[in-house]
Structure 1
Amino acid sequence: MKRRQLLGTAVSVSALAGCGLFDDGPEPPPRPDALQPVLDEALKLAAAYDRAVLAEPGLAKRLTPLAEDHRAHAAELAKVIDTALPSAAASSAPPSGAGQSVAALRKAEQAAQKTAAAACRAAPANRAALVGSIAAARAAHAEALR
């Protein structure tokens, strides 16, 4: 066999190996979208507001618009990352007392704002505006809960 023939055969075999013809294992699962944690938090926050309103109906006027913001954020994030929103999950027991509810919501908003801000810094330009506005809304929510 001449050197050129041997080289051509080696290139052909390596091309076949690179295309997955000889791969035995299944394809690895796709990595979750980087915005998935922001979406998950939006859903958790909306549910937390709903639980707080159930525990203290007098807070509904104050908290319902914030819960609706989180649902709107979740809907937009789901569109961007091309995923379906989960069906409404059963809520856990509501926290006791209005003060504790509002304080817990404020802490959750502050933590979620940090997650969104970090995601905004890491996001490509076509996603940064959305995630940045979500981070800003979360910061505003935390202030509204003072």
Structure 2
Amino acid sequence: MLGGLLAAGAAGSLAGCGLVDPGPAVPAVAADPLEKLTVEKQGLVDLYDATISAHSSLAERLRPLREAHREHRDALLELLDARRRAALARATPAVPGPSGSAPSAPRGTPAGASPTAALTALRAAEKAASAASRAACLAETGGSERVTVLGSICAGEASHEVALA
């Protein structure tokens, strides 16, 4: 054990002296506020997938809303810097690349035990998603394309609440 500690200390000393080149430093990638929103959109897709799987009687009504959230997620991914997209994909494997294929089996738990409970829970999820999107839109300083996409997502989510009523 002592030998291992000495070897580690020697390697650290050599690296500190520049004798062992660790390679070029990789600059840190700044966080983008849209990352969290992207993960939230994937969570909504997963919630819709699980709910459709559990309540097939709601499938026809819920599929268009689920697809809209996939489009929202993909649009947000497109706005992220390529390095942020890669970091996000590594951190959350559930988020595929833009236009990525959907998972074959739904993840997560259905929104509710009965179709009525599921619709109520989905409305609440849409309301929360709409509030998060609206806050992100109001805080956005990255340019008009980002504001336009976020505004479109806000409008879509507001209409989803109505569609689930």
Into which bin does the TM-score normalised by the smaller protein fall? Answer: 0.7 to 0.9
Task: Please tell me the residue identity of whatever aligns with 2:147.
Answer: A
Runs (4+) of structure 1 exceeding 3 A deviation are 26-29, 87-90
RMSD: 2.0
Q: Which moved more, 1:78-87 or 1:120-129?
A: 78-87
1:92 alignment counterpart: 108
**Matched-pair contact (CA < 8 Å) for 2:53–2:106:** no
Tell me the CA shift for residue 68 of structure 1.
Answer: 0.3
What percentage of residue pairs aligned between the two structures are identical?
35
> Are 1:139 and 2:155 counterparts?
no
> Are 1:33 and 2:32 counterparts?
yes
2:122 alignment counterpart: 105
Structure 1: distance between partners of 2:42 and 2:48: 10
**Matched-pair contact (CA < 8 Å) for 2:50–2:106:** no
Structure 2: distance between partners of 1:97 and 1:44: 20
Larger Cα-atom Rg? 1
1:74 alignment counterpart: 73
2:140 alignment counterpart: 123
Structure 2: distance between partners of 1:123 and 1:68: 25
Task: Please tell me the residue identity of whatever aligns with 2:57.
Answer: G
Structure 1: distance between partners of 2:37 and 2:62: 20
Q: Deviations over 1:53-76 (max 9, x none)?
A: 111101011000000000011111
Q: Tell me the number of residue pairs that the alignment of Structure 1 and Structure 2 aligns.
A: 121
Q: Deviations over 1:99-145 (max 9, x none)?
A: 11111110000001001001111113231010011011011101111
Task: Please tell me the residue identity of whatever aligns with 2:60.
Answer: K
The normalised TM-score by structure 1 is 0.75
Any idea what SS the aligned residue of 1:35 has? helix
Task: Please tell me the residue identity of whatever aligns with 2:109.
Answer: A
